Structure formats: structure tokens, C-alpha cells
Amino acid sequence: MAPTQRIRKAILPVAGLGTRFLPATKAMPKEMLTIVDRPIIQHVVDEARAAGIEHFIFVTGRNKTVIEDHFDKQVELETTLSERGKLEELNMLNDLLPKAGQTSYTRQQSPKGLGHAVWCARDLVGNEPFALLLPDVLVQAPDKGCMAQMMDIYNKTGGNILAVEEVEPDQTSNYGVVDVLKNECGTMKINGMVEKPAPRTAPSNLIIMGRYILQPEIFDILATQTEGAGNEIQITDAMKTLMNDQEFYACPYEGRSFDCGSKIGFLAANVAFALSRDDIGPAFRDALRKLI
């Protein structure tokens, strides 16, 4: 069924401590680590904006104020760029800047899990469907970004959409895993999900990748959601309850994902994104060849 409400807002949970990247993340948020020349969080905001998102809700924590600064004007810098005639850089900064009033920030006061982080944004989202993008995951898509591909499905089906991808069976216990049913019309309906299943108990090898479109009824469920896997409040558990009343569809998106929360994924993302750039790709390829 075609949806009645368009997706205008996105939640970006950025409260995590980033302990896997110490000492780099001692004073700097992990979301500000760069993939080539832009912070991870900028890549994710760009993906959301390309999908039509107009308002970005950051669920932050202590030591994350630099994210707020990043999405604000930097008057001194802009004046200097302008005086020096560096118009290309100036225009780039202006293009990337969200418009006034398009960002909101709230704090997750204690690390109680992803479900709790999403719930912290309930008043900022209000009673409308929203996108949720986990900044640990970056997607390199050939044509349309991952969230834009999800919007295409949402515009036909409405309901809730989860980006999914296949992993090796021995990896499923690190993720939320879904069970899907393929319909004749090509849509993939989700009929089960579980967060971090014990080894060899997963319903499939299709994981929840880190991009969601959700209906606002999830917030009422999250309000009373008890702790699940890892003793944290899990969004997957709340979605499972919502599945009793609403449809969930899987989006097996086109593209390649990188887990930038791990060192290997982060480094691989840097290599992949650098190689795909017209300006530095060829020179970087030569430099890489000399290294390996």
C-alpha cells in the first residue's frame, strides 16, 4: 500500500564511545574519523540527504560537541577562504551545510543500547515515519544510495523497511537477522527477526545492515522495552513486537557496505572510497600497487 506520509526526518545515533579506535577517539568522536577527506558522519548525512531527508536528528553523548560544530557555519574559516579566493572549497562547504533549523541534537545520557538511543529522539521525530542510519556502516552504492533505494520500496509498500545483506553463516551472531518471504510481486516481506542469535540458530543469513525506515509506533514499544541481547535495549526486539501490527519489508540494496566500527572495515572503506574518486583514484591505485 502506498504510504500516506513521506519520510522527512532521520535519526543518527552518535553516542557510542568508540573504544575500538583508541587512542584516536580519546578526544574525538569516532564518527569524525575520516574516510578519505570527509568524516564518516558526513558520508551518512549525505546519503540521507540524497534520499530526500530534510531534518537530521543526532542522538549524541558527552564529548560529541564537535559533531555539532561540523554541521554549523565556520565564519572565520569561510571569511579566510573567501579573502584568499578559494571559491571551490567555500562552495563545497556551503553545499554540505544543512540549512538553518535542519539539525537537532539530543543526548543519550547513558549507554543503554540502540533501542534506547532511538527512543531518546521520540519528541524530535513526533508522530511521523522516520529513517534511522547507523553511522558505523557506510555504503558504497553504484548509482543510488542505500537509503534512496529503501525510499523507492517504501513509496510502493509503506510500512517499515530494513536494508538487509547476506553474510557468512558464522557471522550471523554479530547482527540482527531476519527471516523473509518472497512475494510474487518481487517484494520481500519480513516474517521474523532476532538480535544476535546464538551460533547455528539464525533463521537465515540475511542481516539487518544498519539502515531502517520505521513507523512512529515503535516509540511506544521502546518506552517499555526490556533489555535484550548484551543487556541492552534493542531496536530489533521492539521491531519484532511492531511486526504483530505492521508490515516489515526487506531491501536487499545494491552496493557494498563497510563496518567502519572495526579497524579493517574502516581501512577497507578508505581504500574503496579513494579508488572510486576521479581526482585521486588513479594516483592512489599506483601508490597502492607499490605497497602490495
CA distance 140 to 43: 10
Q: Which amino acid is at 214?
A: L
Q: Smallest distance, Å, CB 194 to ligand G1P?
A: 9
Q: Is the Cβ of residue 11 or residue 207 nearer to ligand G1P in the bound state? A: 207
Give the count of residues interacting with ligand G1P (CB under 6 A). Answer: 14
Q: Which amino acid is at 120?
A: C
Q: Which amino acid is at 30?
A: K
Considering only 7, 51, 67, 114, the residue that binds ligand G1P (CB under 6 A) is 114
Q: Is the Cβ of residue 81 or residue 202 nearer to ligand G1P in the bound state? A: 202
Residue with grid cell 539487518, as numbered in its chain: 208
Q: Is the Cβ of residue 55 or residue 211 nearer to ligand G1P in the bound state? A: 211
Q: Is the Cβ of residue 103 or residue 236 nearer to ligand G1P in the bound state? A: 236
Q: Is the Cβ of residue 34 or residue 174 nearer to ligand G1P in the bound state? A: 174
Report 123-142 residues binding ligand G1P (CB under 6 A).
134, 136-137
Considering only 120, 190, 207, 242, the residue that binds ligand G1P (CB under 6 A) is 207
Residue with grid cell 545494491, as numbered in its chain: 254
Contact 80, 148 (CB under 8 A): no
Q: Smallest distance, Å, CB 75 to ligand G1P?
A: 36
Q: Smallest distance, Å, CB 7 to ligand G1P?
A: 20
Report 140-199 residues binding ligand G1P (CB under 6 A).
175-176, 195
Q: Which stretch binds ligand G1P (CB under 6 A): 53-61, 71-79, 117-125, 228-236?
A: 228-236
For residue 287, which phi and psi values (nearest 5 degrees)? -65, -40
Residues that bind ligand G1P (CB under 6 A): 114, 134, 136-137, 175-176, 195, 207-210, 234-236
